[in-house]
């Protein structure tokens, strides 16, 4: 816009010179009374016209701007007063003296990881700061790597501009500070073992705390990921030992249960065998034995054998081949 105003002034000056300027010249180089010439006036007029065209181009360019679907703009005049806000997309118009301040309303990420914030997060992006040191309910300090995704509500950008002037200040002075504060606060309600084994519950608690904190500030929490929790090495060693002991206890319980099952199976098998024998003995009555004796004699006689018996049911059968 400043360039357009400069060319407007130059065009006005050129037109004034062309209109009111008086130029003289001496014909043929001889000493005569100078006579006025209109040629410089025409040059000034053409120059003024050129400046006017350039000024129009500048001012037209200052009145048009484009806006992407992931942007919202605050409009302010040259005095710093906010004159509006635009959330529409495509080619937009404004007064030449109005400036735009752009805010990104897409999903954005904040990552705190590493001892000194060096390196990158798990997705390969740069971090916003170092790991966050937290203290749990048992007084044990741990280092936490966390990634948070958030977005700005379009209708909140004017208030954000009033308080923070631009998005960079907003992110550093508000978003990052609140994330560190909440992440330090939430683990105070978790024990050391819960902090290590119930990461999902810790993430949910951090998410809910930030949502409540930013409810009236135009910020939406899209997701939170506790990428890593690093307690002191002594705690890790103790936890590993406890886990190993628990595994051993589980193994012994499984072995004991297996032995109990095996013993119970033997009892069941023995009882089944005893029941079968008892049933068999109970079924061998004198009448059944007599019938089986007679059936045997018939089978031997039918085969052409000579059978010698003492005539009693319990006598010895002699099979004499012919």
16 shares its domain with 85: yes
State the total domains in the chain: 4
Report the interhelical angle of 2-20 vs 39-63 (nearest 10°).
Answer: 160
Q: Among the three residues 68, 88, 104, which one is the final residue of a domain in this structure?
A: 104
pLDDT over threshold 60, residue 259: yes
The reply to whether 206 and 270 lie within a common domain is no
Same domain, 174 and 204: yes
* pLDDT tens for each residue of 203-239: 999 999 999 999 999 999 999 999 998 888 877 666 6
Higher pLDDT, 247 or 198: 198
- Whether 51 and 125 map to the same domain: the answer is no
Residue 64 has pLDDT above 90, yes or no: no
Strands (E) in the chain, as ranges, are 24-25, 35-36, 64-67, 71-76, 82-86, 90-93, 99-104, 108-112, 132-135, 141-152, 219-230, 306-308, 318-320
Looking up residue 176, the CATH number of its domain turns out to be 3.30.479.30
Same domain, 227 and 118: yes
| pLDDT at residue 178, rounded to an integer | 96
Name the domain boundary from 104, 130, 155: 104
pLDDT in tens, 175-196: 999 999 999 999 999 988 888 8
Is residue 123 located within the same domain as residue 226?
Answer: yes
Residues 215 and 114 in one domain: yes
Q: What is the CA radius of gyration of the chain?
A: 50
The pLDDT score that the predictor gives to residue 38 is 56
Q: Give the structural domain span for 239.
A: 232-279
pLDDT at residue 172, as a whole number: 94
**Do 185 and 133 reside in the same domain of the chain?**
yes
Task: Let me know whether 211 and 244 are in one domain.
Answer: no
Whether residues 118 and 226 share a domain: the answer is yes
Distance CA 9, CA 32 (A): 37
Q: Which of residues 231, 249, 266 is at a domain's end?
A: 231
- pTM for the structure as a whole: 0.60
pLDDT per position as a tens digit, 68-123 = 889 999 999 888 899 989 888 888 888 777 888 999 999 999 999 988 766 555 55
The pLDDT score that the predictor gives to residue 295 is: 74
Mean per-residue pLDDT of the chain: 77
243 and 211 inside one domain: no
- Alpha-carbon distance of 229 to 213, in angstroms, equals 23
Residues 93 and 29 in one domain: yes
How sure is the predictor about 285, in pLDDT bands with cuts at 50, 70 and 90?
low
């Amino acid at each position: 816009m400043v360039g357009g105003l400069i060319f407007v002034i130059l065009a006005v000056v050129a037109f004034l010179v062309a209109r009111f300027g008086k130029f003289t010249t001496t014909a043929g180089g001889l000493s005569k009374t100078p006579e006025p010439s209109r040629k410089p006036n025409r040059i000034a007029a053409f120059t003024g016209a050129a400046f006017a065209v350039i000024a129009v181009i500048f001012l037209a360019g200052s009145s048009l701007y484009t806006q992407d679907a992931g942007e919202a703009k605050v409009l302010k005049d040259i005095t710093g007063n906010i004159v509006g806000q635009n959330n529409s997309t495509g080619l937009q118009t404004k007064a030449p003296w109005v400036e735009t301040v752009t805010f990104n309303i897409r999903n954005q990420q904040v990552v705190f990881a590493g001892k000194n914030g060096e390196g990158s997060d798990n997705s390969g992006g740069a971090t916003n700061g170092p790991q966050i040191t937290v203290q749990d309910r048992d007084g044990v300090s741990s280092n936490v790597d966390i990634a948070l995704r958030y977005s700005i509500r379009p209708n909140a950008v004017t208030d954000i501009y009033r308080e923070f002037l631009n998005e960079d200040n907003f992110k550093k002075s508000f978003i990052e500070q609140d994330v560190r504060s909440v992440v330090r606060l939430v683990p105070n309600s978790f024990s050391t073992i819960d902090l290590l084994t119930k990461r999902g519950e810790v993430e949910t608690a951090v998410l809910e705390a930030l949502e409540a904190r930013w409810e009236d500030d135009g910020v939406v929490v899209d997701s939170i990921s506790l990428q890593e929790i690093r307690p002191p090495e002594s705690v890790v060693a103790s936890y590993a030992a406890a886990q190993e002991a628990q595994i051993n206890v589980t193994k012994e319980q499984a072995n004991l249960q297996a032995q109990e099952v095996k013993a119970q199976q033997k009892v069941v098998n023995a009882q089944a065998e005893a029941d079968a024998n008892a049933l068999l003995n109970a079924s061998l009555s004198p009448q059944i034995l007599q019938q089986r004796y007679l059936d045997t004699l018939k089978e031997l006689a039918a085969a052409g054998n000579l059978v010698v018996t003492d005539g009693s049911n319990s006598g010895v059968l002699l099979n004499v081949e012919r």
